[in-house]
Structures are given as C-alpha cells and as structure tokens.
Amino acid sequence: MTTKIARTLPAKAPAIRRLTLTALLALGLAFGAQDLRAQDDVIRAHGVSTFGELKYPEGFPHWDYVNPDAPKGGEFSTWAFGTFDSLTPYILKGNAAALSTVFYDSLLTGNLDEPDSMYGLVAESLEYPESREWVIFHMRPEAMFRDGTPVTAQDVVFSYDILLEQGRPSFKVALKDFQTVEALDEHTVKFTFNPDGPLRELLMTAGGLPIFSQAYYEDVDFTESSLEAPMGSGPFDLLSVDPGRSVAYQRRDDYWGKDLPVNLGQNNFDVIKIEYFADYTTAFEAFKAGAYTFREEYQSKIWATGYNFPAVDNGWVKTEELDDGRPAGTQGFWFNLRREKFQDIRVRQAIGLAFNCEWANESLFYGAYERTDSFWENSDTLQASGMPSEAELALLEPMRDEIPESVFTESAYVPATSSPDDLADRRSLRTAGRLLEDAGWIVGDDGIRRKDGQKLTVSVLNDSPSFDRIINPMIENLKRLGIEADATRVDAAEAQEREKTFDYDIVTQRFAMSSTPGDELRQIFGSDSAEVPGSANIAGLANPAVDMLVDKVATATSREELDTSVKALDRVLRSLHVWIPQWYKGVHTVAYFDQFDRPYGDTPPPFGMGEASIWWYNAEKAQALRDAGAL
C-alpha cells in the first residue's frame, strides 16, 4: 500500500501533490486482526491482515501507541507548498487542499504499528472466503453523515459507481478487477472480484474506498471542483477556507465514531489548519514568527544553520530528530519516457551522470543525507542487493527478453559515486559523453549535440525557487555535455496541471513506499496507467516485465514470496534508469512550538509520527507561550 506523501526534499516544501490510490482511499493504512473462522471456510472477523495474524484481537480497547485519555482541544497548524482551489480530492479537475480527505470515512481503517492490516470503521465486521474472491461488509447502523442521515450500503455502492464513472481516471485502473458491488440490505454490502485478479489486495482496496452520500450528490455535480464542505461522515468539518492561502478543519463533537476503539486517543485537536506558501524561505520565516506551530524540516541547510532564532534559544520552539521506521521512499528526478529522446536507455544513463549527488550533499546539504539507490531504500527485506538470488532468478528468467541483460550479469544497480569536491566530475562526464555518442548524439560545431538534425534538449520542471540550487548545478553539467538544458520555473498551480497531463521532460517527485507493497504499484509503474491523465505513473513506464512483476507482488501469498518479488521488481526498475535517484535520511527532523504532548518519546510508531492525530494540545504550555509573547 503505497502512499504519496509530502515531499521530503531538502529545498522544497511539503506538498500533497499527487496522491496514489491508497492515499486517496484512506488517511491511515496498515492495521491488524485476529481471524475467527466459521464453517464452509468463510472467515468472519473484525479486521483483515494481508499476511499472518492480526495484532489486535476482537474487542481491543484502542491502539497500543495512543493515549486513550488524551485531552481534546486547541489547534494544530502546519504548512504546505503551492496552492489549492478545491476541496474535492477524488476528481481530476482542480487542485485539492491538503487533508481534504478528512471529511470521509471508509469501511475499514488502519493504524501506525502494523504494515498490512485493516480493522472495521464503518464496517463492524466482514466475512470472506479464504480465496478472497468476495467480501461482505456488515456496517454499523449508528454510522451517520454530517447531516444526521445514516450511512447505508447503497451509499457504498453509489461511491464505487461514481468513482469508477466520474472520478480520477486512475480509478478505472485501480478498480478494474472489481466485478460487482451490491447492497444486500440497508447495512450489508458485497464486493465480488475477478478471480484472476490480485485478490490479496482487492478486499483491502474495497475497505478503503471513501463513502459519499448519494442523497447529497442528487443536487451536487460530483465532477465539479468546489470549495464548499462536502457531505461526509468523517471526524472533521470545514472551519474556514481562504482559497490558495489556508484551509482549516474543525473536529466534529457529534462525530458518530469518536468512541470506537480505532478512534480512541486520535483526532485530538479541535482545529487542524494548513497555511500555504509559494516559497520555502517565506514559509520558514512565517514559522519563526509563529504563523503556524509545527514544521517538519526538509531543507538540510536550514536544519543545520537556521534553528538558532530567539524562540529556539528561549525554549519556546523544540527541535527534535525522531526515528522513521518506514522505507525511505523513491525520491528523484523522473524521466518522461513518453518522449522519444528518452527512449534510449543510454541517454537516461548519461543524464543521470550529470547529477553529482556527492557534491550536492557536501556543498548544499551539510552532509546530512545518503544517496538513494533503491525504490525501497532503507528496507533490508525489500531492497535488492548484489546478484539476484535463485528465487529472484526463477521470476526473472521468463522475462529475460524484456529487461536489460545487466539484471543477470551485474549486481543491483547503484549510482556511480562522483567527486564531492568537483561538480564537473571528469570521470562521470567522460562516461556520459561516450554513452551519448553511442546513442548517436554527436556534438556539432556549435557545441550542441544533434541526432538526425534534432538538438538534444532537456528541461527540468521546477516550481520552487528554493530548489534552484539543486537543479542548476545539474543543468551546468548537462550543458558541459553538449545538451541544451534549462530549468523551467513555473508556479505551483501550473506545475500541478502540467504533471497531470505529463507535460514535462524531467520532474522531481517522491513516493513513500509501503512495507507491504501491492496492487497500488500499478498506479506508479503499470502499463495500464502510463497514459491515464493524473495517474501516478509520472515516468510513463510501460514494460511487460514490470507488469508481470507487479502482478507477482500483488498476488504473493506469503511474506517470503512478497519480499522476493519486490526485490526482483526493484532490481529491474533500477536497471531501466527511469529516474535519477536523489537522497534520503532515516529520521524525521521536526520543530514545533512547545504546546503539544505526545504518547511516545523519541521513537514514534513505525509507520508515522501521528502528529496531527495522536498528539494533543497542552493548554498550560500554550498559555505559558502566550504569556511570554511567543505566540
């Protein structure tokens, strides 16, 4: 279950820019349950796990990592990069505000300490055969929309239908193996799946679908973006919206599910507010002035040198590094393979050599990062290394004609190490020049490479002034290679639209990869999504071997089989050079005004900090800050 999250770019703001299906379907993923088996091999339970037993038994009181007695109140505020003009995140039109999924509930929900389990939210229980070819959800009669009307099985059917017919085009890919969705009675709904589909994942995808009010959309056009609060059954309502500048959500005291075990100790803030900024530096200065109260720092230079302002010195602002137990993610410069000039793998390799990550880390990042090489970086169980194992080879051999020979003859690809002291590392640039010449791109009298009379041009799409310092040195090296290169600066709104329509050569993006990957990988790497507007397949990757390996991942029946399949997929993706990997770090670097408490010390739950949900407002600390003039 992959989640596209706020970018962890050291010079770019966190921004929920493009959500993969799972992030759209549910705010939290990963949960557990203890199966209760009945006759006829039908499993009836309060939750479902991809593999193994659920951590939490039936009747559990609350998640282990929360404080069930956490006080409610106060405001949590943070920031986002760019702009927004919509509160409707499930359609292609408009740019949805951060956290605009908080209006909705789903049948199942997850937690932060299990990688592959889900428990009942709107659904009190579920039943399914061991094959998982269908699932029946038994819904809670007490579940209510904000207007007091009940959440029914027909609303679930309506939600599926409208997402498929009028939602983001990527839903057609994600839901293609759903055969039927039917209301058996007012509070019982059945999903039936293609028996040849990724059955391990489909049940959980169904459980994560947002639930819309059918009655509400009788008078509202689902396809139109809007800044009006939609009708949902979730824990938050809209408090205020200033288009493009800020959005605030207010906790609902009358939320029907607030006392459920899956919700106790969560949703503790009365208000969650997001302030938008078009520039990273401006956002940091606003934090120093108290315009918002929580900040995860993504720029290493600021983390190393900027947190010496009076509020930190006085103890009003706390700075911490908290463990991050998730795979580090797939951050990098992504090629648009839809463009002919990038079809030759040698061109992609050459351009990759123009990015001197070691120089950037020393000169720009204060040595704070390590180079990424894997799509599952920082995961020993999922990251490919060395030569392929026998189990990997068994998967890869039938695909030999569709993947580079290097997969079989060389260790898993690791980017070449360049000199940290010399941006224009001669060895790397000489290798890049030979690759371009081998691909037919020859330097002319004017110093520009051409092939068949066409110039080799490369443009890197960029929407943040703060990211110039990272892109421009790479542009310099590309020009040294005879490539006519530039960084195309646009505002955030234009960047979002251009990314939806794949109007770029190279774009920077990050995806947070799950510890239990599955069918959602089709959205990022699958051929079916390569030409779907707004899909997460930003590279336009369409490779039969990758499709087959994604199928192997999605249909794995054991953790061992999953790990082997992911390693094989990682190995192939790296060999294809669809991106230029950037950097990572294994900790959260956070700063916040000292008015919050949390239920853990320096080690958050393994799959997230939960800062906007399981932390809480300390009124005494907040008053002390106000008395001191800090806020």
For domain 332-584, give its CATH number from 3.10.105.10, 3.90.1310.10, 3.30.450.40, 3.40.50.720.
Answer: 3.10.105.10
pTM of the model: 0.85
Closest CA to 119 of 38, 61, 41, 190: 61
pLDDT at residue 270 greater than cutoff 60:
yes
pLDDT at residue 6 greater than cutoff 60:
no
As a dihedral over the C-alpha atoms of residue 302, residue 305, residue 306, residue 309, rounded to 10 degrees, the angle is 170
pLDDT at residue 11 greater than cutoff 50:
no
Q: Are 397 and 405 in contact (CB under 8 A)?
A: no
pLDDT at residue 294 greater than cutoff 90:
yes
Per-residue pLDDT reduced to its tens digit, 554-576: 999 899 999 999 999 999 999 99
Q: Average per-residue pLDDT in the chain?
A: 91
Alpha carbon of 313 to those of 234, 310, 321: distances in Å?
40, 5, 17
**Alpha-carbon radius of gyration of the chain:** 24
pLDDT at residue 30 greater than cutoff 80:
no
When pLDDT is averaged across residues 113-123 and rounded to a whole number, the result is 95
Query: If pLDDT is split at 50, 70 and 90, which confidence band does 28 have?
Result: very low
The residues with which 240 forms a beta bridge, in sequence order, are 248
The pLDDT score that the predictor gives to residue 26 is: 38
Q: In what order do the strands lie in the sheet with 454-455?
A: 442-443, 449-451, 454-455
pLDDT at residue 544 greater than cutoff 80:
yes
Query: If pLDDT is split at 50, 70 and 90, which confidence band does 326 have?
Result: confident
Q: Are 251 and 236 in contact (CB under 8 A)?
A: yes
For the chain, counts of helices (H) and of strands (E)? 18, 28
The pLDDT score that the predictor gives to residue 493 is: 87
Percent of the chain with pLDDT over 90: 82
Per-residue pLDDT reduced to its tens digit, 497-537: 999 999 999 999 988 888 899 888 999 999 999 999 999 99
Closest CA to 170 of 526, 436, 623, 603: 526
The pLDDT score that the predictor gives to residue 22 is: 38
Per-residue pLDDT reduced to its tens digit, 584-611: 888 899 999 999 999 999 899 998 999 9
- CATH topology match: 31-48+104-233 vs 332-584: no
How crowded is residue 276: how many other Cβ atoms within 10 Å of its Cβ? Answer: 22
The pLDDT score that the predictor gives to residue 40 is: 53
Residues with Cβ within 8 Å of 110's Cβ and at least 6 positions away in sequence, in order, are 26, 28, 29, 30, 31, 117, 118, 119
Residue 298: phi, psi to the nearest 5? Answer: -110, -5
The pLDDT score that the predictor gives to residue 361 is: 92
- The domain limits of the chain are 31-48+104-233, 236-325+586-627, 332-584
pLDDT at residue 36 greater than cutoff 70:
no
CA 163, distance to chain mean position in Å, is: 20
Question: Which numeric CATH code is attached to 31-48+104-233?
Answer: 3.40.190.10
Rounded-to-integer distance, Cα 286 and Cα 293, Å: 10
How crowded is residue 128: how many other Cβ atoms within 10 Å of its Cβ? Answer: 23
Instruction: Please give the CATH architecture assigned to the domain spanning 236-325+586-627.
Output: 3-Layer(aba) Sandwich (3.40)
